[in-house]
Structure 1
Amino acid sequence: MQSYALLIGATLSAGTVLALAALGLLINEKAGIVNLGAEGMMLCAALAGFATVVHTANPWLGFAAGMAAGALLAALFGLLVIWLNTNQYATGLALSLFGAGFSAFAGIAYVQARLPELPRYGIAWLADIALLGPALSGQHPLVYLSMLLAAGLVWFLYRTRAGLVLRAVGQAPESAHALGYPVRRIRLAAVLAGGALCGLAGAYAAIVYTPLWVEGMVAGRGWIALALTTFATWRPARVLLGAYLFGGVTMLQFHLQASGVQLPSQWLSMLPYLATIVVLALISRNPAWIRANMPAALGKPFHPG
């Protein structure tokens, strides 16, 4: 029982990285913008957050630095695709490649760095919950925040006027523009919010999940987060559940190794990415279902008349 509680707790922590990034990308896509640069933004944010904590010993400043780095790169992306009308897919790929290269170059000095001792968090009364208590009680506050964020996004998107406007911009930007809404500014705000959440995910990965910095440490999670938005059919609650599913697959490899399962480590390391491919292949068998849930203007440029 103890081992399963540890597995669930590790799943929640691993899933939080994916959940924060995927929820940020969901906001982008609800506004009609596809950002393939999540991997690069998360890497730069991971470095910014890690370096900040190394120099200040304050993890919250590290999270703020990660969010700022993600938002800054997202602002550059937004300027190019929203105002200069560059191709969203090509620009996102360029951002991802830039983030990977820049973080590797700028992070050389931090490869051997160690974080100071960070405070431990937990909510004691959660330990009394049957079965899940031990897994829930000792989590970092950002784990709980990601759950609240998913619930808050459900309320924002489907219960508020601002959420309705955001979805309208992603469905029919020309109609939203005709009604007097500033489509470009709304899209930029969505891109900034998405970039900040991707940055928070990257900082969490470097400060809490794997408290170190190495080149390429995000290890494809930005791409998995991007796939999660499609897997969840652009629904925040499903994004959260999908993040925990993929987080569980990620941690399963370590659980199997600890249980003495005799499989090559390379095969176990493939599990999260194999699961991503399988899920996308299954979803792609029903394109009509995807089209029914996908924002109609997703990936399409908008030219105000």
Structure 2
Amino acid sequence: MSTSLPDATQVERSDGTIQLAVVKERHFKAPIVLAVLTVLLGAIVLFVPRDGTSTFRLGDPSQSFALPNVALPTAVTCWVLLAVLALLTVWAFWLAWSYRRQPLWLTIAFGILGVFAFLVWAAADGLVPVSSLLFGAVSLSVPLVFGALGGVIGERVGVVNVAIEGQLLLGAFSAALLSSITGNPFVGLIGAMVGGVLVAFVLAAFAIKYLVDQVIVGVVLNVLVTGLTGFLYGALLVPNEQQLNQPERFGRIQIPLLSEIPIVGPVLFNQTFIVYLMFIAVALVAWGLYRTRWGLRLRAVGEHPQAADTVGIKVNTSRFWNVTLAGAIAGIGGAYFTLVSVPQFGKDMTAGLGFIALAAVIFGRWDPIRATFAALLFGFATNLQNLLTVLKTPVPSEFMLMLPYVVTILAVAGFAGQIRGPAASGKPYIKE
């Protein structure tokens, strides 16, 4: 029986014995990405210089207590921040050269300072409403967070959930239809969960019972749901818009005192029911995945189904019901479109966000908390695109439309690195 260790290799000594020797590897992917971003930001500041004053509004006009605006000299602040980013990049290269891991806080600090430097450059002689920027980022991230949670549960149990897009879209359609008929947004929310479950049920049936390739099933389901909702929208909702496509929406629920906290108060504590449900869902999934018997069984099935089977866990049954649960959670994200964001259902209204949610799962390393932060990052990039349009920056409009997807590519390809998902993810289990 041979024994293997990570980053280790067997070396035969002169006396014929075998000794394990540790082999260290340098990982330069993250430092290279940081260097490229620093150079790009420096090129923007150098070749498209902007003078004047950049003003940041920290308070919210609706609050009784508001912080004063912060005005910064644009050019000087940009160059100072660039110098700090360069130092962080050099430090990242030194850590890689010294065979040390990149600390998470370094990447986070670089990201925050880099975005801040770009905002200072973009807001020359303009105003950046910080609370509104963050509020919009959270709002745009809600469907992504629910989709990412569904993706994490699905892949942790061993099923690749490429059908998140279809679950979001059918959830949005079901929520709009039922909420319009009943005049109750909670009925619409339940309908969205049922819509997500239906898509997940078909995915689980074909992938688990009939052993069809999971990625192919997911792609086909996305196309099927897109065509089905598009047909029903034109044949059912458009002719009966007042009766079937005017959903009753959730209103904002302001939490006393907490909503008055500067900057974060309006962002976190003056939200709708679905946003508060998102906070609860993230906490419950994170706790359940690592602290409960359900989570232990789920992870065991996704990592080593044969071992799980030997201790009495019904692998395929566990996969089936957990994929269904993942579909219900993703369906809630679809409900956000029609019960909060947009007053009615529109054809193809999810616009590919399900695939970005899947990227958030990978970037978040199949962890619910990390995936949530990844979804918030993508939501922030989308809202930043809108802000740059308002500020009338010299950045081409085509690039601003690309911004969320560029961030997604950089996050997954650059910062995710060489990561390993659940060992049995995407592999059907056949009991011998």
**TM-score under structure 1 length normalisation:** 0.93
Question: What is residue 25 of structure 1 aligned with on the other side?
Answer: 151
Equivalent position to 2:274, from 142, 146, 169: 142
CA RMSD of aligned residues (A): 1.6
Equivalent position to 2:247, from 115, 122, 127: 115
How many residue pairs end up in the alignment? 300
Equivalent position to 2:169, from 18, 35, 43: 43
Q: What CA distance in whole angstroms lies between the structure 2 residues aligned with 1:242 and 1:66?
A: 24
Amino acid in structure 1 at the alignment position of 2:410: V
User: Aligned pair 1:94/2:226, yes or no?
Assistant: no
How far the C-alpha of 1:93 sits from its partner, in A, is 0.8
Q: What CA distance in whole angstroms lies between the structure 1 residues aligned with 2:403 and 2:309?
A: 45
Are the equivalent residues in 1 in contact too, given 2:249–2:343 (CA < 8 A)? no
Question: Greater helix share, 1 or 2?
Answer: 1
Question: What is residue 304 of structure 1 aligned with on the other side?
Answer: 431
DSSP 3-state at the match of 1:139: strand
Are the equivalent residues in 2 in contact too, given 1:51–1:62 (CA < 8 A)? yes
Q: What CA distance in whole angstroms lies between the structure 1 residues aligned with 2:156 and 2:286?
A: 12
Are the equivalent residues in 2 in contact too, given 1:125–1:137 (CA < 8 A)? no
DSSP 3-state at the match of 2:343: coil
Residue 91 to residue 257, structure 1, CA distance change in 2 (3 Å):
same
Amino acid in structure 1 at the alignment position of 2:300: A
Are the equivalent residues in 2 in contact too, given 1:41–1:95 (CA < 8 A)? no
Per-residue CA shift, 1:254-299, capped at 9, x if unaligned?
A: 1122223354444322211121112122146x32xx12xx111010
Matches within 5 A, 1:287-298: 287=418, 290-291=419-420, 294-298=421-425
Q: What CA distance in whole angstroms lies between the structure 1 residues aligned with 2:258 and 2:298?
A: 36
Which range moved further: 56-65 or 139-148? 139-148
Are the equivalent residues in 1 in contact too, given 2:303–2:423 (CA < 8 A)? yes
Which range moved further: 165-174 or 114-123? 114-123
Are the equivalent residues in 2 in contact too, given 1:34–1:298 (CA < 8 A)? yes
Q: What CA distance in whole angstroms lies between the structure 2 residues aligned with 1:153 and 1:268?
A: 34
How far the C-alpha of 1:8 sits from its partner, in A, is 1.0
Q: What CA distance in whole angstroms lies between the structure 1 residues aligned with 2:305 and 2:248?
A: 48
Residue 195 to residue 118, structure 1, CA distance change in 2 (3 Å):
closer
Residue 207 to residue 262, structure 1, CA distance change in 2 (3 Å):
farther
DSSP 3-state at the match of 1:107: helix
Amino acid in structure 1 at the alignment position of 2:376: Y
How far the C-alpha of 1:125 sits from its partner, in A, is 2.1
Question: What is residue 371 of structure 2 aligned with on the other side?
Answer: 239
Matches within 5 A, 1:82-231: 82-108=208-234, 109-111=236-238, 113-116=245-248, 118-231=250-363
Q: Which runs of 4+ in 1 moved over 4 A?
A: none
Specify every segment of 5 or more residues in structure 2 that has no aligned partner in the other structure, as ranges.
1-56, 61-128
DSSP 3-state at the match of 2:246: coil
Are the equivalent residues in 2 in contact too, given 1:43–1:216 (CA < 8 A)? yes
Per-residue CA shift, 1:2-55, capped at 9, x if unaligned?
A: 421111111111111100110011000110110211111211111111111222
Amino acid in structure 1 at the alignment position of 2:334: G
How far the C-alpha of 1:252 sits from its partner, in A, is 0.9
Question: What is residue 180 of structure 2 aligned with on the other side?
Answer: 54
Are the equivalent residues in 1 in contact too, given 2:171–2:193 (CA < 8 A)? yes
Per-residue CA shift, 1:171-219, capped at 9, x if unaligned?
A: 0001111111111110011100111111111111222122322111101
Are the equivalent residues in 2 in contact too, given 1:15–1:244 (CA < 8 A)? yes
Q: What CA distance in whole angstroms lies between the structure 2 residues aligned with 1:120 and 1:139?
A: 5
Which range moved further: 26-35 or 37-46? 37-46
Q: What CA distance in whole angstroms lies between the structure 1 residues aligned with 2:214 and 2:312?
A: 24
Are the equivalent residues in 2 in contact too, given 1:41–1:195 (CA < 8 A)? yes
Q: What CA distance in whole angstroms lies between the structure 2 residues aligned with 1:271 and 1:210?
A: 22
Q: Which has the larger radius of gyration?
A: 2
Per-residue CA shift, 1:120-152, capped at 9, x if unaligned?
A: 322122222232112223211221221222222
Are the equivalent residues in 2 in contact too, given 1:39–1:220 (CA < 8 A)? yes
User: Aligned pair 1:250/2:344, yes or no?
Assistant: no
Question: What is residue 35 of structure 2 aligned with on the other side?
Answer: none
Identity %: 35
Are the equivalent residues in 2 in contact too, given 1:9–1:139 (CA < 8 A)? no
